[in-house]
Amino acid sequence: MSVPARAIALPVERAPARREWVAFLRRLARRRTALFGLVVVALVLVAALGAPWLVGWDPIEQDITHRLAPPGSQDPAGRVHALGTDHLGRDILARIVFGARPALMVGFAAVAISGLLGMSVGLLSGYFGGRVDDVFMRLADIQLAFPFILLAIAVIGVLGPSLPVIIVVIGVSSWVVYARVVRSSVLSLREREFVQAALALGSRDGRVLLRHILPNALTPWLVVATADMARVIVIESALSFLGLGVQPPTPTWGGMLADGRVYISTAWWLATFPGLAILFTVLGINLFGDGLRDTLDPRLNV
Amino acid sequence: MRVYLARRLLQSLLVLLGVSFVVFFILYLTGDPALVLLPPDSSAEDVERFREAMGFNDPFLVQYGRFLGGALRGDFGQSVRHGEPAFALVVERMPATFELAGTALLIALALSIPAGIVSAVRRNTLVDYASTVVALLGQSMPTFWLGIMLILVFSVQFNLLPSSGRGGLEHLVLPAVTLGLFTTARITRLTRSGMLEVLNQDYIRTARAKGVSNPPVIWKHALKNAAIPIVTIVGIELGTLLGGSVITETIFAWPGVGRLSVQAIYNRDYPVVQAAVFLLSSTFVLVNLVVDMLYTYLDPRIRFR
């Protein structure tokens, strides 16, 4: 009687079990810069989620009598504008806190799209090779040939700026790095014994890809995703800066910068603080990403 | 070698074909131009006759073929706003963009390679930490904010440098620094990690052991090997620079392709947008082809693949 393939305990290489996760987090926490990055990211996340409860000002409420008030000034009721007001008398701190929302929303959603897209392309390209690989890699070359921001503003200019359009445009055009990284790890994973064993036991391609290869290709993918998140947030603010991002009255960091640029010679705080918010957020994500890379796989060069 | 070059050339042509398709498709997405181009009181027959005459009724692929034929001859149609050929408008502004991107690249290379080398050689010293922190900040700083802050300090506060326009060298400083910072940061980090890797190799130890003094080891033995990833990234960074010029040129009112295309998008002047995207992408493809050839010189192993 032959033993059914399922009954043979196959040494599946899995994503780290719980105890390994704890060890991993501990290693990550030991890197002070990574921890700092994590704290920054957490702060921005809290700001985005809790914006209405965190600030005393309405971010779109105008008060023309108190326009361009410098940081620290008070209104007649004695309430303080910690970072001053803009050209329409809106509280800058409140707008910065609320501005975290579109930034993170676009960041997470676009990274999810491009990450999934790139992961799929990378898996298929690396696993099947040959013609499939050729087609995908030429597509990648074409994608990379465009100056990214120019392509993005051209498409958004045509379709009209709105949150979904921005997310889709950034998401759809950022898959290449994921695909390349996943592809190259699949190329080496494909030759490993546990994959060959699974194939020899008659596992179908889909099962091998999803159960055996995917979990092992996740590490480099995750590292790329963090770096990409930082990039996407800068792009989102660049689009808003050019007036092609999420439209007013929703406060965006890039839009605030564009407003502030006009008043650069009289009211420096308008442009300075939203830029610092972007810098702070992106720096946090980058530090966290670097720490993640060093902890997970120091030899990874992405 | 010749086979490799021929294959690369063919690939580049294929990429350009793909680029042209995407560029055409962007315009196709805008919908029917007849209603935009004709006066609002035109009759339905007028619109239909115009469509037929302009070929807007043809199948998608026929229209694409016509676009491609035009693009190859440098004909992207007339600019809606300027009434001139879109291609000429873009070409006219190319030198300004190249001047800006080229200077930014030079600044980036001049700063980042020495910084990366010193960082690697004097690992974990104050110099290394300082350069790492600066590189991290540079990589996290949005270009447009940096530009505005530079204007605030150097133009508004101290009135040292002009904040807009193109002219002498003093006009070039702020925009080039702004555009180049991100690339500087990237290449610094890459040079550092590349050098660290190379400095641990056996042939470096061999060179040291046979008594080669420190400077030649670093400059000749190590840098030439660490240069391979740097050259690759320079090609890719040029794309970043050409794309980044869109924002930098807007901030500093620099009369290049980037600013022209942003204005063209605001004005819905799509022939100009198409010409600009196509020409900048072609430049990028061309530069990367050259970079690949440089590559075969730096790393002879590639020739035999």
Q: Please tell me which residue of chain A has the smallest CA distance to B285.
A: A145
C-alpha A93/C-alpha A83 separation (Å) is: 6
pLDDT tens across B88-145, in order?
999 999 999 999 999 999 999 999 988 998 888 888 888 889 888 889 999 899 988 9
Whether this model's pTM surpasses 0.90: no
Q: Is A72 on the interface with B (CB under 8 A)?
A: no
Widest Cα–Cα separation across chain B: 88
Residue B63, phi then psi, degrees to nearest 5: -65, -40
The proportion of chain B whose per-residue pLDDT surpasses 90, expressed as a percent, equals 23
Give B-chain residues touching A150 at CB under 8 angstroms: 242-243, 246, 258, 261, 276-277, 280
Residue B85, phi then psi, degrees to nearest 5: -60, 135
Answer yes or no: do A264 and B152 touch at CB < 8 A.
Answer: yes
Give me the DSSP letters along B184-237. HHHHHHHHHHHHHHHHTSHHHHHHHHTT--HHHIIIIIIHHHHHHHHHHHHHHH
The three-state (H, E, C) secondary structure of chain A, written as one string: CCCCHHHCCCCCCCCCCHHHHHHHHHHHHHCHHHHHHHHHHHHHHHHHHHHHHHCCCCCCCCCHHHCCCCCCEECCCCCEECCCECCCCCEHHHHHHHHHHHHHHHHHHHHHHHHHHHHHHHHHHHHHCHHHHHHHHHHHHHHHHCCHHHHHHHHHHHHCCCHHHHHHHHHHCCCHHHHHHHHHHHHHHCCCHHHHHHHHCCCCHHHHHHHHHHHHHHHHHHHHHHHHHHHHHHHHHHHHHCCCCCCCCCCCHHHHHHHHHHCCCCCCHHHHHHHHHHHHHHHHHHHHHHHHHHHHCCCCCC
C-alpha B248/C-alpha B179 separation (Å) is: 6
Give the mean pLDDT of B291-302.
72
Would you call B78 helix, strand, or coil by DSSP? Answer: strand
Give the mean pLDDT of B59-76.
85
Render each residue's pLDDT in chain A as its tens digit; 302 residues.
Answer: 444 444 455 555 555 566 777 777 777 777 788 889 999 999 999 998 987 888 877 787 777 787 777 887 777 777 777 788 887 878 888 899 999 999 999 999 999 999 999 999 999 999 998 899 999 988 988 888 888 888 888 888 888 888 999 999 999 989 999 999 999 889 888 888 888 888 888 888 888 888 888 888 888 898 899 989 999 999 999 999 998 988 888 899 999 999 988 888 888 888 899 999 999 999 999 999 888 888 876 665 54
Q: Please tell me which residue of chain A has the smallest CA distance to B237.
A: A147
Query: Chain-centre distance of CA B220, in angstroms?
Result: 30
At position A120, the amino acid (one-letter code) is S
Backbone conformation region of residue B172, classed left if phi is above 0, alpha if psi is from -120 to 50, else beta: alpha
Answer yes or no: do A155 and B14 touch at CB < 8 A.
Answer: no
How far is the alpha carbon of B146 from chain A, nearest alpha carbon, in Å? 8
* Residue B107 token pair: 């600044």
* Residue A5 token pair: 């393939």
* Residue B262 token pair: 């942003």
Q: Please tell me which residue of chain A has the smallest CA distance to B241.
A: A147
Nearest to A259 by CA among A54, A89, A44, A47: A89
* Residue B164 token pair: 């807009």
Would you call B255 helix, strand, or coil by DSSP? Answer: coil
The proportion of chain B whose per-residue pLDDT surpasses 70, expressed as a percent, equals 94
Q: Please tell me which residue of chain A has the smallest CA distance to B238.
A: A147
- B residues 242-281 near A, CB within 8 Å? 242-244, 246-247, 250-251, 258, 261-262, 265-266, 268, 270, 273, 276-277, 280-281
What one-character DSSP code corresponds to residue B249? H
ipTM for the predicted complex: 0.84
